[in-house]
Amino acid sequence: MKSQTSALRAARIAAAYKQIELAERAGVAVGTLHRLELYPAFKPSLATAEKLATALQCKVEDLFPLLARKRGSLHRPEILA
């Protein structure tokens, strides 16, 4: 299984983004993106993970499998009114 670092980097490269391009598109700091790609122990906040997944048009679980296992399902239940 890929580590979360390689999954994020692989998704960025597959989308043909440089780190700065993805960071700007997702609204996160370049340093944050760099650390997420380089250090597997560096865990993003859920908000950051969602921004990156949205920018890469994928699921949070695709980018951060370790985060998904730790937090359980990242899907938010629908609120019925």
Q: Is residue 76 part of a domain?
A: no
Q: Is residue 80 part of a domain?
A: no
- Counting DSSP H helices and E strands in the chain, the numbers are 6, 0
Q: Is residue 44 part of a domain?
A: yes
Average pLDDT over residues 43-66: 91
Q: What are the C-alpha distances in Å from 37 to residues 19, 56, 68, 75? A: 10, 14, 16, 23
More confident residue, 28 or 61: 28
What pLDDT does residue 70 have? 57
**Using 50, 70 and 90 to split pLDDT, how confident is the model at 39?**
confident
Which CATH number fits the domain that encloses residue 16?
1.10.260.40
Q: Token pair of 47, please?
A: 């908000």
What pLDDT does residue 23 have? 98
Q: Is residue 81 part of a domain?
A: no
Least confident of 1-5, 24-28, 75-79: 75-79
